[in-house]
C-alpha cells in the first residue's frame, strides 16, 4: 500500500498539478472542475483503491475521496463559485473523516442533484457515524431527492439533502428544493450531532407520512441559531394522511435561539406546521408563525422557554399574535431573511427578546442588540437615530 505522501504526490502529478497541500494528517484540497467525474467508480464506503485519472481536474467527488483517505486530522475542501451537479450515484459523498467544505457564498457556490427539484435522483451528502464530521460553509444545497430507491444509496427514503449519523455543522448556507418522497427529512435527517447557524431553509418537503419538511431529528442533539425556515412542508399522502413537522420534527434534544419559522405546513392528519416536538425542545427568542397546522405542536417536553413569539399561542410562548414579517428576500448578509416590519403595525417581536444567550449578531451579521433588548427571531431591526433637527434615520 502506498505511503500517504507518495499517494498525494502521485495524485498531484496525474491530475496535472491540482491544488492541494498536505500537512501531517491534514489536507487542503481545491476543487478545480464542476464536472461530476468518476463518482460511480469509487468504492463504498471508504473510497479506497481509487484509480485516479486526469479527467477535467479535481471534482468535488474526488476531493471528498482524497479527504476520506487522508486518515486522522481535519481536511479542508475549497469549493469555488459554480454549480456542482451530482449526476451519478452518490458514492463519493460519503463523509467518513473530518472535512470542512468552504464555498464562495450561498449565492455563488451551489451543490445540486439536478436543476429541477422534481427531477433529482440522489442526496448530496451522507455523514457516517461515529467518524464522519462535516462542516459546510457558504453553500447552497438544493434539489437533493430521496425516493426510497435509486440514488440515496443507504437509508434511501430519508434525508434528501443530507443524511447525518455523525457530526454536521452548517453555517451561512441555503437549503432549497430538497425532498424525501417516502421518508423523513426533506433537507436534513439527523441522528447524530447537528449545529446550524446563519442559514435559510426554504421550499423543502417530505411526502406520504414523512416528517420534518426541512429538518428531521431522529435522535441526538441539534442546535439552530440565527436561521430562517420558510415554506417547508410535510405534504401528506394526498388521501388525508400526513406526517408531522412541516418545518422541523424533533425526536432528540433541540435548541432554537433567535430562529424565524414562517409559512411552513402539514397536510391531512399531520401536526405542527412549524415545529413538531417529540423530544426535548429548548427555545429562546424564536418566532413560529403563519403555519398551516399548529405553529408549534408539543408531544413531549419543553425545557427552556424564554421570550418566544408563537402566533397561535401553542407551546406556551411569551407572546402570541402576528409577528408582521416581511417576505423572504435579500436583506443583506449571506442568506435571505424575513424582516420585522414597522408598518402597518409595529412587529411585537421588536425589542421583545432576552439578551441572555442572544447571539452577538443576527443572521445577516448586524450587531445585537440594536436597542436595549434583542429582537425575537433571526432579524434584528436597526435602531432609529433621532437627530437634533428632528429627522430620523434607520
For residue 13, is it within any domain? no
For residue 334, is it within any domain? yes
For residue 61, is it within any domain? no
For residue 8, is it within any domain? no
Task: Copy the grid coordinates of residue 60.
Answer: 468535488
For residue 315, is it within any domain? yes
Domain that holds residue 266: 103-393
For residue 359, the model assigns a pLDDT of 98
For residue 93, is it within any domain? no
List, run by run, the mean pLDDT of 10-residue segments along the chain (394 residues): 36 37 64 75 43 65 84 88 79 80 98 86 87 96 86 82 96 97 94 98 94 98 98 90 94 98 95 98 98 96 98 98 98 98 95 98 98 97 62 48
For residue 267, is it within any domain? yes
For residue 97, is it within any domain? no
Question: How many structural domains does the chain have?
Answer: 1
CA separation for the pair 124, 111 (Å, rounded) = 7
**DSSP per-residue string spanning 78-141:** E--SEEEE--S--SS-EE-SEEEEE-S-TTTEEEES-SSTTT--S-SEEE-TTT-EEEEES-EE
pTM of the model: 0.89
CA separation for the pair 287, 310 (Å, rounded) = 6
**10 three-state secondary structure:** helix
CA separation for the pair 310, 318 (Å, rounded) = 8
Amino acid at each position: 500500500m502506498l505511503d500517504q505522501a507518495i499517494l498525494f504526490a502521485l495524485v498531484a502529478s496525474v491530475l496535472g498539478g491540482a491544488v492541494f497541500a498536505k500537512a501531517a494528517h491534514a489536507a487542503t484540497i481545491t476543487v478545480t472542475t464542476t464536472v461530476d467525474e468518476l463518482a460511480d467508480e469509487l468504492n463504498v464506503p471508504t473510497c479506497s483503491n481509487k484509480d485516479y485519472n486526469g479527467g477535467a481536474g479535481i471534482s468535488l467527488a474526488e476531493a471528498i475521496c482524497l479527504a476520506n483517505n487522508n486518515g486522522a486530522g481535519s481536511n479542508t475542501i475549497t469549493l469555488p463559485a459554480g454549480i456542482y451537479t451530482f449526476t451519478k450515484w452518490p458514492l463519493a459523498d460519503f463523509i467518513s473523516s473530518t472535512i470542512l467544505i468552504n464555498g464562495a457564498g450561498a449565492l455563488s457556490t451551489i451543490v445540486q442533484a439536478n436543476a429541477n427539484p422534481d427531477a433529482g435522483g440522489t442526496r448530496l451528502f451522507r455523514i457516517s457515524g461515529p467518524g464522519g464530521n462535516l462542516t459546510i460553509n457558504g453553500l447552497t444545497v438544493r434539489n437533493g431527492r430521496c425516493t426510497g430507491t435509486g440514488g440515496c444509496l443507504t437509508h434511501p427514503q430519508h434525508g434528501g439533502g443530507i443524511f447525518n449519523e455523525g457530526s454536521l455543522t452548517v453555517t451561512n448556507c441555503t437549503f432549497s428544493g430538497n425532498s424525501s418522497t417516502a421518508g423523513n427529512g426533506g433537507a436534513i435527517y439527523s441522528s447524530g450531532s447537528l449545529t446550524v447557524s446563519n442559514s435559510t431553509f426554504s421550499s423543502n418537503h417530505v411526502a406520504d407520512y414523512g416528517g420534518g419538511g426541512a429538518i428531521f431529528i431522529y435522535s441526538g442533539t441539534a442546535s439552530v441559531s440565527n436561521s430562517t425556515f420558510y415554506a417547508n412542508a410535510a405534504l401528506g399522502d394526498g388521501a388525508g394522511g400526513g406526517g408531522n413537522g412541516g418545518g422541523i420534527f424533533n425526536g432528540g434534544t433541540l435548541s432554537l435561539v433567535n430562529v424565524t419559522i414562517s409559512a411552513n405546513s402539514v397536510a391531512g392528519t399531520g401536526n405542527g406546521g412549524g415545529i413538531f416536538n417529540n423530544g426535548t425542545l429548548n427555545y429562546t427568542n424564536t418566532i413560529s408563525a403563519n403555519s398551516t397546522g399548529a405553529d408549534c405542536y408539543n408531544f413531549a417536553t419543553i425545557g427552556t422557554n424564554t421570550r418566544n413569539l408563537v402566533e397561535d399561542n401553542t407551546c406556551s410562548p411569551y407572546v402570541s399574535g402576528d409577528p408582521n414579517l416581511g417576505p423572504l428576500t435579500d436583506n443583506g448578509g449571506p442568506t435571505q431573511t424575513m424582516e420585522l416590519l414597522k408598518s402597518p403595525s409595529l412587529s411585537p417581536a421588536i425589542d421583545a427578546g432576552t439578551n441572555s444567550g442572544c447571539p452577538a449578531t443576527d443572521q445577516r451579521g448586524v450587531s445585537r442588540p440594536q436597542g436595549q433588548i434583542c429582537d425575537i427571531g433571526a432579524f434584528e431591526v436597526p435602531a432609529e437615530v433621532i437627530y437634533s433637527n428632528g429627522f430620523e434615520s434607520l
